[in-house]
Structure 1
Amino acid sequence: MDKSLEKSLTQWLKSRQFACGVFLKLSIFLGIVNGLAIVAQAYYLATILDGVIMQHQSVMALQGAFVTLICLFAARALIAYARERVSFEAGKRLRQDIRQTILNKLIELGPVWIKGRPAGAWASIVFEQVEDLHDFYAKYLPQMMLAGFIPLTILVCVFPLNWAAGLILLVTAPLIPMFMILVGMGAADANRKNFTALSRLSGHFMDRLKGLSTLRLFHRGEVELNKVEVASEDFRTRTMSVLRLAFLSSAVLEFFAAVSIAVLAVYFGFSYLGHLNFGHYDLGISLFTGLFILILAPEFYQPLRDLGTHYHAKAQAIGAAESLVELLNTPTPQTKANAEPSNVDIDLSCVSIEAKNLTVYSQDGVCLLGPLSFSIAAKQHVAIVGPSGAGKTSLINALLGFLPYQGELSINGQPLNQISLAQWRQNLAWLGQDPQLFHGSLRDNVALANPQLSDEQVMKLLTQANLGEFVASHAQGLNVSISDQATGVSVGQAQRIALARALGQQASVYVLDEPTASLDLHSEQLVQQALNQAMSGKTCVMITHRIDQLTAMDNIMVLNQGKLVQQGQFDVLANDRSGMFAQLLNDEKETV
């Protein structure tokens, strides 16, 4: 990974630590208290051993030291427990904040941008990659502070007793972080590649799972199974490379710590044997001094070893942060529209729409539609027709705020990109040809946009959508279970449930995209009847291929190859035999 990129990702990770609240600081504080308790524990333990062995003191004479030592053991256990709980809470709050930020960003980007990647890839980002940030905040960041404080505190205690022992500790200490950095240089890149492989595998598997019936129908199951196996093997290989780095770093850090402690033990051993006579300020080396320093030696290296152990958490977090930062830095359709959103609040109880030289672009900057100009008066019903690929859905997505555009697109005279999107969408009722129902009860799906609806209000909406008889005849009533992908209800029932949900929004503008597609004649009539009743006195923009049913529309816009080629009422457009609308009308009659 490029060093500048790694540095910027590390800075981004540290900039998010505010989400941990006070818990991150509390974790560091408890670690510092634990470090002081370690020094005190070593002091009393060395005092007891020196008193019993060298000064031949009785146990009763050392009773106070024994009691203090036992209290220190208990205190350290409680501090360690509290620190684990506090550290976990810090990581949990961070994960919640990051997930909410990601979801808010996805809402801003809209479904058009989201559909550009498989659902499994988003699941990998929102779940696995966010989870891999936990240890960075819960363990690595606090350990960074402790790796400096505890060894420094121990050196302050050791140097006044024996400068040679302090020098050994000071010289050998950098070996551990030095190797930690060398290993970490490759660990971040390995983790990044691992996350890429996981995202690819998740998206690949989810897509194949959703299309399982189609794959079986065309006898492609074995081929796709082999592809999943290849993707799984790639992920396994990358995972093992990450694990190898983690185990290698742990083993080498343990080795250097053991060697350093051994050097210190050899120094004291030879000093007690009389072969070495330096480092003690000509005061000699007492048993207390040797025991105190040797007891502290493992604790001196322990914070550095823990930092090395947790260093792979930093590499893991950097690998996860790359795609997260890329997602969060993605320009929204509003920021691409060359206007700073001012979130102006306007009255949207009655909505008019006007476009001048409007050009709609994809997220990649490809022109999808325009330039075109049109106006939709308040309470007017407008149909958008045209052959496939004409730009109908792109125009609707621009109105919904899901695609960037240039030119003027105004709502009640106010530029769309200066209106609060939340306020604008609260006044929209969207009904497409493939309604999205969610796992839960029928009540939950209808009341999704307005959870405060009572059972009576939900039932009234279902009755308006011509679904009241179905609910009344069902044993579970409003508690009818609906699974993902609208499993458990027919296509027509799913369409009418979505219609009831749209009716519950009390919207000012209805945006419809083939709302009666894939319905039988009876269901189509019921949905259309409910729509006509709900849209009375409301602004409506509808995409449809049912050209012969547009006689009641106030205006019809005909698109072709991204251009507005015709506009007017049904009779006028139908009588223009040379126009696109008449051609579409004739094609539909021939198909019928």
Structure 2
Amino acid sequence: MTRSSPPSARRPENSVSHTLKLLQTQGGAALWLSIAAPILAGVLLVWQAWILASTLGQAIENVAPISTLLPGIFILLGIVLARAGLSAIADHTGIIAAERIKLHLRQTLFSQLLAKPPRAANSAASGLAAASIVDQVEALESYFARYISASAQGIVLPLVFGAIILPIDWVAGVLFLVSAPLIPIFMALVGWGAQVATDRQAKALSHLSGRFSDRLRGLLTLKLLGREEAETEGIVSASEALRQRTLKVLRIAFLSSAVLEFFAALGVAGVALYVGLTFIDYLHLRTSPLTLQLGMFLLLMAPEVYNPLRVMAAQYHDRASAKAALNEIEANLGTLSDERVDHTDNAPLPGKPIALEANNVTLRTPDHMRAVIEHVTLRVEPGQHIALLGPSGSGKSTLLEALVGLRDAEGDILLDGRPLSEWSEPSLRGRTFILTQKPRIIHASLADNMALGRPAASRADIEKAAELSGVLGFTAGLPLGLDTIIGEDGAGISGGQAQRVALARLFLRDAGLIILDEPTAHLDAALEQEIIQSITRYARGRTLIVATHSPAVAKNLDRAWRVTPTGLVEAPLSARAKGVA
């Protein structure tokens, strides 16, 4: 199983570059086309410059008639149109590749986030997680859509241009080959400062986005406590910090462009000076005369030699932004790994009963200062149904969550003889089902809420689950039935109805271990008996653990245990009948 690094960890530079290269593979053919098209357009540029110089040379030196020049003009127009088409293809395919990569990365991050236990110690705050998946992933677009293509042009095209020009005119070729490499060198020096500033800007953006999201979610609490003004000032302060850091990044980006323009201007001026002095017969560095056609070709190519570097410089800050964004993503959500999760373990198939064993398990509060329950020893045979009894606050819910890895526990918990730590998250979640006292209900239809148990469930399966869970009992009088929209956390329905909606998810699953925490809470005695009978019928051949206060529920199960601060004590059948807990 792939494990994530702690959120506080920040990966080294070469590791971030490796991750960017791995993400590039998700761009597919579109990414390669976005790289190849501009290079091909650059090669056509040499032909375009030569045709243009030749046409002007014939028109000026030889005073050629227009009929002689027309073929060259038409070829020139064709090349211009071809280069424009290649440029449009490069832009379009670059965006397509970037969108594919962003979609893949968001799906990976979301799956990785869901694979973590909800109460994992290294889980990021919801605001930071949302900012990473939305904002920081979005910051990678320019890197994949434009920078990769621009860097390929900056590396390949100046060498191609220099190799073509050098045999034609060695002086201009040497000027190009000497001045062009200075630009990337000084850009790299500027880039070091840009990376530091961009890292700080990305961190400030995550801080602001996460803070705003979390404060928005807790707006009612802040209002009740009279903290709205203080939090508003805090957000304003964070916004100002982001503004200042963004301006620092822009200053460095402008400096990078200035460095490029300075050396590019020197190179173009050097070639122009060489051509001009040669034409007036002041320089004699050539063995043959410099023709008008060749001189114009060199002047036309002079700015084009530096143009790929100029494009790369314009996009250079996108590289720093991408690395900063990826660092921030991995700092908040953990390391992105190219390993694949192994789903082919030796865990039982879904639906097969799972044996559960807990040996000397102690559960503590999140701060580890107090034990909730100590020295729990429990063995549940495959297919056995048991009840956990005990007053509120005795630790039943905490114990149930620990049995399926949702809480840290001291001691050994084994499912089918395998330690809980050896189960992969997908296998563990696929083979177990837990219903807590406060199940998650989202703003959607009743049917959509039930389908969270199995998103691919058919309408017939959902209706069957609604029947078994008693949901149809209260939806029959609703105009839209199962398509009725409810609010967040079950707004619009009662607590008992929300419990039945969540319970319906059980009947859409095929889990081998079923854990239910007060599944019949808020139900009347008749409906309680009906629901528990549906549960026990469905759980035949599966392992079932139910935490309950109800003696009527407990007597439908095979055995019962009473939860005490020092462990579990078996409750005799007679005690269960009397409702002793």
Same fold per TM (> 0.5)? yes
**Per-residue CA distance 1:240-274 (angstroms, 9 max, x = gap):** 22222223323432333233212221222222222
Is 2:206 aligned against 1:205? no
Is 2:503 aligned against 1:499? yes
Report the more deviating stretch, 247-256 or 131-140. Answer: 247-256
1:317 Cα deviation after fit: 0.9
User: Which residue of the other structure, out of 198, 202, 225, is the alignment partner of 1:191?
Assistant: 198
User: Which residue of the other structure, out of 34, 44, 47, is the alignment partner of 2:54?
Assistant: 47
CA–CA separation in structure 1 for the residues paired with 2:185 and 2:200: 24
The runs of 5 or more residues in structure 1 that have no matched partner are 575-580, 586-592
User: Which residue of the other structure, out of 233, 247, 250, is the alignment partner of 1:243?
Assistant: 250
Match of 1:351 in 2: 354
1:148 Cα deviation after fit: 1.9
Match of 1:461 in 2: 465
Match of 1:590 in 2: none
Pairwise mapping of residues 567-578 of structure 1 onto structure 2 (< 5 A)?
567-569=569-571
The runs of 5 or more residues in structure 2 that have no matched partner are 1-8
**Per-residue CA distance 1:39-59 (angstroms, 9 max, x = gap):** 010010000011101121112
Report if aligned partners of 1:343, 1:418 keep a CA contact under 8 Å in 2.
no
1:355 Cα deviation after fit: 2.6
Is 2:524 aligned against 1:530? no
Report the more deviating stretch, 447-456 or 355-364. Answer: 355-364
**Per-residue CA distance 1:359-413 (angstroms, 9 max, x = gap):** 779999999887653211232223275775x765554444334456676433233
Report the more deviating stretch, 476-485 or 226-235. Answer: 476-485
Match of 1:57 in 2: 64
Which residue identity is paired with 1:40?
Answer: W
Is 2:45 aligned against 1:38? yes
User: Which residue of the other structure, out of 301, 321, 327, is the alignment partner of 1:296?
Assistant: 301
Report if aligned partners of 1:118, 1:204 keep a CA contact under 8 Å in 2.
no
Report if aligned partners of 1:46, 1:291 keep a CA contact under 8 Å in 2.
yes
Change (3 A) 1:195 1:495: farther
Report if aligned partners of 1:351, 1:379 keep a CA contact under 8 Å in 2.
no
CA–CA separation in structure 1 for the residues paired with 2:34 and 2:508: 48
TM-score (normalizing by structure 2):
0.86
Report if aligned partners of 1:173, 1:301 keep a CA contact under 8 Å in 2.
yes
Is 2:477 aligned against 1:473? yes
- Give the secondary structure class of the aligned counterpart of 1:55: coil
**Per-residue CA distance 1:462-501 (angstroms, 9 max, x = gap):** 2333332432222222221234444443433322211222
CA–CA separation in structure 2 for the residues paired with 1:330 and 1:73: 43
Report if aligned partners of 1:109, 1:402 keep a CA contact under 8 Å in 2.
no
TM-score (normalizing by structure 1):
0.84
1:456 Cα deviation after fit: 4.4
Report the more deviating stretch, 379-388 or 59-68. Answer: 379-388
Aligned length: 560
Report if aligned partners of 2:453, 2:505 keep a CA contact under 8 Å in 1.
yes
Report the more deviating stretch, 81-90 or 565-574. Answer: 565-574
CA–CA separation in structure 2 for the residues paired with 1:330 and 1:391: 36
User: Which residue of the other structure, out of 531, 540, 544, is the alignment partner of 1:540?
Assistant: 544
Match of 2:329 in 1: 324
Q: Which has the higher contact order (CA 8 A, sep 6+)?
A: 2
1:70 Cα deviation after fit: 0.7
CA–CA separation in structure 2 for the residues paired with 1:55 and 1:367: 98
Report if aligned partners of 1:118, 1:206 keep a CA contact under 8 Å in 2.
no
**Per-residue CA distance 1:176-208 (angstroms, 9 max, x = gap):** 212221221122222222222222222222222
RMSD between superposed Cα atoms in Å: 3.5
- Give the secondary structure class of the aligned counterpart of 2:153: helix
Report if aligned partners of 1:392, 1:559 keep a CA contact under 8 Å in 2.
no
Report the more deviating stretch, 183-192 or 307-316. Answer: 183-192
CA–CA separation in structure 1 for the residues paired with 2:224 and 2:520: 27
Match of 1:253 in 2: 260
CA–CA separation in structure 2 for the residues paired with 1:36 and 1:22: 21
User: Which residue of the other structure, out of 508, 513, 516, is the alignment partner of 1:509?
Assistant: 513
Match of 1:117 in 2: 124
CA–CA separation in structure 1 for the residues paired with 2:369 and 2:26: 38
CA–CA separation in structure 2 for the residues paired with 1:217 and 1:496: 32
Identity %: 32
Report the more deviating stretch, 74-83 or 247-256. Answer: 247-256
Match of 1:577 in 2: none
Which residue identity is paired with 2:64?
Answer: Q
Change (3 A) 1:166 1:572: farther
Change (3 A) 1:33 1:404: farther
Report if aligned partners of 2:357, 2:414 keep a CA contact under 8 Å in 1.
yes
Is 2:216 aligned against 1:215? no
- Give the secondary structure class of the aligned counterpart of 2:497: helix
1:440 Cα deviation after fit: 2.9
1:174 Cα deviation after fit: 2.1
Report if aligned partners of 1:429, 1:503 keep a CA contact under 8 Å in 2.
no
Report the more deviating stretch, 82-91 or 463-472. Answer: 463-472
Report the more deviating stretch, 564-573 or 23-32. Answer: 564-573
Which residue identity is paired with 2:203?
Answer: T
CA–CA separation in structure 1 for the residues paired with 2:160 and 2:85: 21
Which residue identity is paired with 1:90?
Answer: A
Is 2:200 aligned against 1:172? no
